[in-house]
Amino acid sequence: MQLSSRLNLFNEPETLKMAKLGRELRAKGFDVIDLSLGEPDFDTPEHIKEAAKKAIDDNYSHYTPVAGYPDLREAVCFKLKRDNNLDYKPENIIVSTGAKQSLANVVLATVSKGDEVVIPTPYWVTYSEIVKLGEGVCKLVSTSVENKYKITPAQLEAAITDKTRLFIFSSPCNPSGSVYSKAELEGLAEVFRKFPNVFILSDEIYEYINFVGKHESIAQFEDLKDRVIVLNGLSKGFAMTGYRLGYVAAHPDVVKACEKLQGQFTSGTNSITQRAAIVALTSDLRPTEIMVEEFARRKKRVLEIIAAIPGLELAEPDGAFYVFPIVSSYFGKSDGNETIKDADDLCMYILNNAHVSTVTGRAFGEPTCIRISFANSMEKIEEGWKRISAALAKLK
């Protein structure tokens, strides 16, 4: 069958691939523990579920405006003021079917064929693939574990050329968990001031899952704000991955461009989700805080476990819900049956021998690491790590 050559430009998400392999093993009767997926293991808070049910009863069943209901765009502005002290108007906001679609809209709206997009590694898997789909050119910049996987101003400046259109980063970062401080963002802002044609896509979807204090957005620097595109959504902070709602806050021209694309792709996100989102974004954040307290407890435990396993080097995550240890000390080792060449092999070895799913760092542009989630119950985490530790101990 002859399918489009466009499909060859990009890869399927490695995160979803590992989850699929895990499910297949489970279907064969194995007790597989999933430490691969990036979603909270919590239920959506009751008051948000009530809002979704009410939206059905109130017959929110028609097409919505493409960019979202006006009162939802207002609610996003309210949230950005309340939590981030950022001033936006509804014309600066567009909601989409998950932050993943928001990202796709932004990349397709800003990047033309051959334009360069600077992305510090490690990065969330989808950034590079969407850029490739959009026929842009990824310029990956390696960061170091010593700098907690954060790009330095000097590295940023060296990577930007006259072809650069876009810079994409996340803070808190998936997969490294690194969080940029205000001073670090100011350092990057200094560089961006020299390059007025570069858009800055700031992915803040893990904003609330922060173990070190206040979230800082690069949109706070007024002189850059027209070029900053804030990306956020409800999936992580409100345990609403299946609802599919993401949004961007940006200059109205960027928003209109996204709206044009979205008008052809989806006509806008689900009406029920939009009504529920208004409640999520404007109500008390206590359920989110309770969830984050639990993530902090699990993180502490996982760090204790890792400290007792030889050969794993780690930058402590300051946010998100993953650990991203360097595993290269296991490369070249064998359990007598197979030799581990790289992080892909190690993930498959852990899946097949420990029945725990994880994700190779290669997918995130950091092939010496693997990503292991702690968005699972403490019981599963304890059992999963017991098995991982036993499997690693067999590698000599």
Q: Which residues bind ligand PMP (CB under 6 A)?
A: 38, 98-100, 124, 170, 174, 203, 205, 233, 235, 241, 246
Which residue number has the CB closest to ligand PMP?
98
- Which tokens hold the place of 111? 């990047």
| Shortest Å distance, C-beta 47 to ligand PMP | 20
Give 164 or 202: the residue with its C-beta nearer to ligand PMP. Answer: 202
Beta bridge mates, 323:
372
CA pair distance 381, 10, nearest whole angstrom: 32
- Which tokens hold the place of 11? 């890869």
CB-neighbour burial class of residue 166 (10 A; exposed 0-12, middle 13-18, buried 19+)? buried
**226 by DSSP, 3-state: which?**
helix
Other CB atoms closer than 10 Å to residue 134's CB: what's the count? 21
CA pair distance 6, 91, nearest whole angstrom: 33
Amino acid at 244: R
CA pair distance 153, 213, nearest whole angstrom: 23
Give 79 or 355: the residue with its C-beta nearer to ligand PMP. Answer: 79
| Shortest Å distance, C-beta 98 to ligand PMP | 3
CA pair distance 342, 316, nearest whole angstrom: 22
| Shortest Å distance, C-beta 340 to ligand PMP | 27
| Shortest Å distance, C-beta 100 to ligand PMP | 3
What is the distance, to the nearest Å, from the Cα of residue 3 to the centroid of all Cα atoms in its chain? Answer: 30
| Shortest Å distance, C-beta 171 to ligand PMP | 10
| Shortest Å distance, C-beta 113 to ligand PMP | 24
Give 99 or 156: the residue with its C-beta nearer to ligand PMP. Answer: 99
Element (H, E) at 311: none
H-type alpha helices, the chain: 14-27, 46-57, 70-84, 98-110, 126-133, 153-159, 182-192, 252-265, 271-282, 286-307, 343-354, 378-393
Other CB atoms closer than 10 Å to residue 266's CB: what's the count? 15
Please confirm whether the linkage preceding 325 is cis (ω < 30° from 0): no
| Shortest Å distance, C-beta 2 to ligand PMP | 31
| Shortest Å distance, C-beta 177 to ligand PMP | 11
